Amino acid sequence: MIARIRRSAGAAALTRLLCLIAVLAAVGLLPWLSGRDPALAVLRARSAEQDPTKEALDSIRRDLGLDAGPLSLLGDWAADLLRGDLGTSWVSGTEVLPSVVSGLQVSLALMGASLGVALLLACALVTPVLVRGRASAGAWAAMLAAVPEFLLATVALLVFGVWLGWLPTSGWMGPQNMVLPAVALGVPGGGLLGRLVADALPAVLDERWVELWRGAGVNRARIAGAALRRVLPPLVPQFGMVAVGLTGGAVAVETVFAVPGIGRTALGAAKSQDLPLLQGAVLALLALGLVTGALAALARRRLLGPALRDASLALPPARPVRAHPAVPLSLFTVLAVTIGWGLLRDPYAVNTTARLASPSWAHPLGTDGLGRDVLARLGHGAPPRSARQRPSAC
């Protein structure tokens, strides 16, 4: 049994390694896989007045190495990466590594502040469960976890930055600029973490050992600490995912508050087709995820202890949970009907008298800011680009 579990663990480790290599190869081949010719964008960035002649574009392609094949492109990029060279920005002409490091430092500082807010909020949601022994804040936790970060950021900016004027609304000049973005990112994360812990605690507090400890006169604080230690190990990976999400998923909040983080850096690089900078930002986020995952695994092992780790080796592998065949079939049917219904409608018909209309029989999903039917635009936007006909005029 133990040998089989170890073989399974080795196969899982090999699979992870192969996936990592595949991701790195995809990042290295990003200029070739993008399907776009960035030579025109680079030409405009270097000299806005120069005509985009064939000779000028070919010269830029040779300078960027875009005329080489995919294997040569990947090999050159991997060799530079092993030397610690992330290349040169196609737009600004500066080294990519300092820009990535600067953006990552800002994002890590914001992640630390956001994680502090999330942990404080999670403690506030979990405390009633430890005191009363039953989940009492599940609805609040679910509501906070469901709040979109960009919506919370916009409301916080308007209320505390514009109307009250208590905090700065943009930039990254000092700790005061960190407050509103940290709150916007930390509140949904804290709601999620609080909900996870609060849902798992009641079952632990109903276990036999809790009753024995209470009967032996053990104080409530020690029982609460032991219960948390028993609950946290399976939830530590979720904590790690939330921490990575506070950095990689902060692009909307960084854009609202003009924070020069790694998410905003990656978004700007994608918009300007600065693929070396985009590659560096993706690698930074990938490295952050790997380091956070390793730290979460280490924290989980320390919380479990050697006895529980050894006992877990003797447990048979868990049986996979399979959903009923009717569930995916029903979801596919609903999606297919929605897309088909939208394809029967005109996505370009503009009706300014019905701008931002609520859902109705005429417009089942409402209309957008120009009065166009949202269901029609959803249906026509769902098929692959090659399967859609390009309109002659918008």
Compute CA distances 171 → 109, 257, 337, whole Å.
14, 7, 46
Residue 308 has pLDDT above 60, yes or no: no
Alpha helices, DSSP H, located in the chain: 2-28, 30-33, 39-46, 54-64, 70-82, 96-132, 138-145, 149-156, 179-205, 208-215, 220-248, 251-256, 262-272, 275-313, 326-343, 374-381
Compute CA distances 332 → 174, 326, 338, 385, whole Å.
49, 10, 10, 20
Q: Is 320 helix (H, G, I), strand (E, B) or coil?
A: coil
Compute CA distances 311 → 7, 308, 344, whole Å.
17, 5, 59
The mean pLDDT value for 138-156 works out to 79
Q: Which residue has the higher pLDDT, 2 or 335?
A: 335
Rounded to whole angstroms, the Cα distance separating 13 from 37 reads 37
Rounded to whole angstroms, the Cα distance separating 279 from 29 reads 9
Residue 98 has pLDDT above 70, yes or no: yes
For 151-164, write each residue's pLDDT tens digit. Answer: 888 888 888 888 88
Q: Identify the weakest region by mean pLDDT among 62-76, 290-304, 357-371.
A: 62-76
The pair of structure tokens assigned to 215 is 């009967």
For 188-200, write each residue's pLDDT tens digit. Answer: 888 888 888 888 8
For 3-33, write each residue's pLDDT tens digit. Answer: 665 666 677 677 777 877 787 777 777 766 6
Q: Identify the weakest region by mean pLDDT among 59-73, 198-212, 274-288, 308-322.
A: 308-322
Q: Which residue has the higher pLDDT, 358 or 97?
A: 97
The pair of structure tokens assigned to 239 is 């904590």
pLDDT band at 134 (very low <50, low <70, confident <90, very high): low
Name the architecture of domain 97-280. Answer: Orthogonal Bundle (1.10)
Residue 388 has pLDDT above 70, yes or no: no
Residue 103 has pLDDT above 80, yes or no: yes
Q: Which residue has the higher pLDDT, 316 or 185?
A: 185
> What percentage of the chain has pLDDT greater than the value 90?
1
Residue 392 has pLDDT above 60, yes or no: no
